[in-house]
C-alpha cells in the first residue's frame, strides 16, 4: 500500500511543476524553494514523534549524502527540467522506464531473486503505460533534449531505489528522506544560491504550488517509497510505481479536461493487473 500511495502522489507532481513553471521560475529555483519548505518540516516531525531518528552514524550520514546529492538532486533537477520540453504524460512514461533499469540490475546482480512472474509483470506494466498514454496510436514529435533529460531522470531514480535498498536498510524512511533532502538542498544552494527568496520574489500562487509539491509530492511520497522498499524491495516497488501513469492521465482528464480513449482505459487495467501479479505469493516461488 505504501508504494501505491507513493505512486499516486508522485503522479500529481507534474501538474504542479507545470503550474509553478508557468509563473516564470526555473527548475533549480523551484526545487530549492520546495526543499527549503520540506526539510524543516521533516525535521520538526522527527523531533515531535521520534527524537531517536536523528541519530545516524558517520557511515550512514555519508551514504545519505550520496543518496541526496547523487540521487535525489540529479533525479529531480532533470525531472523538473524535462517538463520544459515535454508534456506531462510523456515525462511520466519516460520516467517509468526505470523499472526496466531496476530489473536489469536485479537480473545481473541478483539472479536468484528474479521470477517469471516479475519478468512478465515488468513488461506488462510498461506496455500498459504505452497504451495509457495512447502513444502507439499517434505520431507525436517530441524534443530530443526533453527525452534525454527524462531518461537521465529515470536512471537516477533507479539508482535511488537500488541504493536505498542495499545501503540504508537500518535507517527509518523519514530519516532517509530528511537527511538526503537536506544534502540535496545544500548542493543546490552551493550551485545557485536562492537570492530570490531573500528579495521577496515569491508570489502567493508560487508559494502555494511549491508547498503542495513539498508536502504531497516530496515528503509523503518519498517517505512512503523508502518504507515500501524496506518491505517489498526495489524491484516490486518500481513495478507498482507505474501506477503514476494512469494517475497522471486521470488528473489530466478531470483538471485539464483532456480526452481519454478506450485504449488508455485498457492500458490502465493492464497496469493494475501487473501490480496485482507482483503482490501474489507466486512471485517468490517461480524462479528463473
Reduced to 3 states (helix: H, G, I; strand: E, B; else coil), residue 134 is coil
Judge contact between 154 and 105, C-beta under 8 A: no
Across the chain, mean pLDDT equals 84
Q: What is the pLDDT of residue 112?
A: 54
Q: What's the pTM value of the predicted model, to 2 decimals? A: 0.82
100 or 83: which carries more pLDDT confidence? 83
- The arithmetic mean of pLDDT across residues 256-279, rounded, is 74
Cβ density class 103-132: b for 16+ within 10 Å, e for less: bebbbeeeeeebbebbeebbebbbebbbbb
The tens digit of pLDDT for each residue in 164-219 reads 989 998 899 999 999 999 999 999 999 999 998 888 889 999 999 999 999 998 89
Please name which of 140, 127, 87, 142 lies closest in space to residue 252, comparing C-alpha atoms.
87
Least confident stretch, 2-16, 51-65, 91-105, 265-279: 265-279
Proportion of the chain above pLDDT 90, given as a percent: 38
> Would you say 169 and 230 are in contact if contact means Cβ atoms under 8 Å apart?
yes
Digit-coded pLDDT (tens) for 210-251: 999 999 988 998 888 888 887 777 767 777 777 777 777 777
* Cβ atoms of residues 226 and 176 within 8 Å: yes
Q: Count structural domains, the chain.
A: 1
Looking at residue 38, its pLDDT comes to: 96
Q: The domain containing residue 191 runs over which residues? A: 2-284
- The tens digit of pLDDT for each residue in 126-157 reads 887 777 666 666 565 668 898 899 999 999 99
Amino acid at each position: 500500500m505504501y508504494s501505491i500511495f507513493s505512486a499516486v502522489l508522485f503522479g500529481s507532481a507534474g501538474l504542479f511543476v507545470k503550474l509553478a513553471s508557468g509563473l516564470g521560475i526555473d527548475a533549480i529555483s523551484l526545487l530549492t524553494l520546495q526543499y527549503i519548505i520540506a526539510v524543516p518540516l521533516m525535521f520538526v516531525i522527527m523531533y515531535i514523534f521520534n527524537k531517536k531518528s536523528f541519530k545516524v552514524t558517520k557511515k550512514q550520514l555519508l551514504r545519505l549524502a550520496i543518496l541526496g546529492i547523487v540521487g535525489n538532486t540529479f533525479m529531480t533537477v532533470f525531472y523538473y527540467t524535462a517538463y520544459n520540453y515535454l508534456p506531462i504524460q510523456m515525462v511520466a512514461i519516460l520516467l517509468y522506464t526505470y523499472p526496466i533499469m531496476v530489473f536489469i540490475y536485479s537480473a545481473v546482480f541478483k539472479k536468484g531473486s528474479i521470477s517469471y512472474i516479475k519478468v512478465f509483470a515488468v513488461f506488462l506494466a510498461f506496455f500498459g503505460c504505452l497504451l495509457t498514454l495512447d502513444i502507439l496510436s499517434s505520431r507525436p514529435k517530441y524534443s530530443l533534449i526533453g527525452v534525454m533529460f527524462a531518461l537521465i531522470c529515470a536512471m537516477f531514480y533507479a539508482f535511488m531505489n537500488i541504493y536505498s535498498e542495499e545501503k540504508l536498510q537500518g535507517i527509518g524512511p523519514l530519516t532517509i528522506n530528511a537527511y538526503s533532502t537536506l544534502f540535496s538542498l545544500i548542493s543546490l544552494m552551493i550551485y545557485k544560491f536562492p537570492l530570490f527568496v531573500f528579495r521577496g520574489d515569491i508570489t502567493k500562487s508560487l508559494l502555494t504550488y511549491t508547498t503542495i509539491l513539498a508536502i504531497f509530492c516530496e515528503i509523503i511520497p518519498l517517505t512512503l517509497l523508502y518504507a515500501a522498499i524496506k518491505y517489498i524491495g526495489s524491484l516490486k516497488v518500481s513495478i507498482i510505481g507505474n501506477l503514476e501513469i494512469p494517475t497522471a492521465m486521470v488528473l489530466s482528464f478531470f483538471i485539464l479536461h483532456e480526452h481519454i480513449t478506450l485504449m488508455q482505459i485498457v492500458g490502465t487495467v493492464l497496469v493494475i493487473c501487473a501490480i496485482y501479479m507482483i503482490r501474489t505469493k507466486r512471485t517468490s516461488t517461480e524462479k528463473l
